[in-house]
Amino acid sequence: MIFGDIIALIGMAISVLMFVYLGLQDSSKAISIEQVLLANRSASSTQFGASFAAASTSLATVIIFFISYSSFFGISLLWCGGTYLVGQVIFLRFMKGVNIDTSSLTTNADFVFHHMDLKRTAQIIAIMTASSFILILFLELYIGSEIISYYLTGMGTVGKAISYFSLGAIVIIYVRLGGLKVVFRTDVWQLSVMIVACIALLLFAFLYSPIPSVKSSPTSPPLFATATNSQLLVFMLWILILNFTLPFTQLSSWQRLAATKSIDEAWSGLRRSAPSFLVIWMIPVFALVILNSKGVTPGSLSDLFDVLRSSGSGYSNILYPLIFVGFASALFSTADTALVALQFSLSDSATFGNRLRAMDEVQLRRVLTFSTFLIIAALSLIYGMAVVDLGSWFIPLVYTIFSQLSVVAPQVVYSMLEASGKIQDRKFGKLSDKVNMTFMLLAWSILILATIGRVNEILPASNTQEIATYISVAVSSLGLFLAYLLAEKTEGGV
């Protein structure tokens, strides 16, 4: 163990203690759905902006994706961050334009239920949302356990399982202390650490001098993509669709906005956080393509850490701990958001919302705590029993998580347009609901089958899930169109 390792572990311990400390600052004896899941709707622009920037950059779904594909897509990965930010701008400007009050917002499934009266459709949206956040939570804890077990290699699978459950317990503890309010507070801390890590990674990329290693190759890829033009086009179109629809379909965006004092407060926070967002989305891309150009093509975080630790330069003892702690913090910024969003997804009128609101404080506290530990324990048990090694499943799962959210975009956007009075109101009956639900399930099945087909090499790895996303969104849109035709016009439409 080198000096940099000691500093990295000390830094990680300090970061974990900071999470718990911040949780204690916002702990409250009183508990309610509004307090736990919506921070009493009192979030400031600073909190909104920091949470948006920090939680948008997931260790598992962003950093690992960049590491895996930096040599294939090159600097075209900058398209990911740019379109995601533009999508958030469109979402907030749309909300502001239709004058939607944040104090009335709940889940997107609830929104569809109230404005289109499609209960089964709303339940499918809630189920798809919950499954997405379960997968996100699983992947974040899995990658986090890989980071921690980097120093527990002698314990094998047991060490990874212990790391996995321990990280889950840490997230539970500080989220349990203050709910979404503490998530906002910790995101401010996490964002600062992540920015430092990204800058450290870029410095390392510039300073690094190639040395003979199994991690480097004399035939290094160029700064630009090695993917073909057609592969790039399909990928960039897929990213465009996802990032323009995600703000409307990703529940954490709705939860964050519903918890903020007003649309204007959220808009101010988005503008102030944009530079920080661009730093943590774009600097890693530049750093990785620079390393690629020097012959370093890490296939995993462990590979990247090996390169950072074995560079043979004194600066690595400073930069490596900063990068290690920052990447580990990225795990918490998404895991805690996924945890509260998962609970939020089951708190609407179409699922368990009415029951939860009818509970007293003692009952609610017990239910929230038990359900959270049950989720983490179940995922840990599966992890341990299966001796999980995601391998070829990892990237396809990342694709599935976000692609399935785009399936619900037509229904969510339609309900928002109807609420704003921009389209004529229609009365959707039970038949419309069943048709819409059936086509959404069909669209979801297409994505799942494409994922299984890609992993098992029945379908080609390149562009399979992107094309499946296009088909799924089209199928979901067709279901909405048929439901629209079956619905009856009502008075008062525009």
**Do 217 and 295 meet the contact criterion of CB atoms below 8 Å apart?**
yes
438 in a domain, yes or no? Answer: no
112 in a domain, yes or no? Answer: no
Q: How confident is the model at residue 218 (pLDDT cuts 50, 70, 90)?
A: very low
Q: How confident is the model at residue 224 (pLDDT cuts 50, 70, 90)?
A: low
482 in a domain, yes or no? Answer: no
Mean pLDDT of all residues in 167-196 = 82
350 in a domain, yes or no? Answer: yes
Residue 46, Cβ density class (10 Å: 0-12 exposed, 13-18 middle, ≥19 buried):
middle
Domain that holds residue 258: 3-106+123-233+250-386
Q: Name residue 427's beta-bridge partners.
A: 488
396 in a domain, yes or no? Answer: no
Measured between its terminal Cα atoms, the distance across the chain in Å is 69
pLDDT value of residue 217: 46
Model confidence pLDDT, tens digit, residues 433-455: 999 999 999 999 999 998 888 87
304 in a domain, yes or no? Answer: yes
Tokens of 270: 């988005």
Model confidence pLDDT, tens digit, residues 65-107: 788 778 788 888 889 889 999 999 999 988 887 777 888 888 8
Residues 6+ apart with CB under 8 A from 282: 78, 81
- pTM, to two decimals: 0.85
Lowest average pLDDT, out of 115-129, 136-150, 286-300, 458-472, goes to 136-150
- 43 phi, psi to nearest 5 deg: -65, 140
pLDDT value of residue 410: 93
**Pairing relationship of beta strands 488-489 and 426-427 according to DSSP bridges:** antiparallel
Average pLDDT taken over every residue of the chain: 81
Domain total in the chain: 1
481 in a domain, yes or no? Answer: no
436 in a domain, yes or no? Answer: no
Q: How confident is the model at residue 271 (pLDDT cuts 50, 70, 90)?
A: very high
Report d(CA 110, CA 258) in Å as an integer: 13
pLDDT value of residue 114: 84
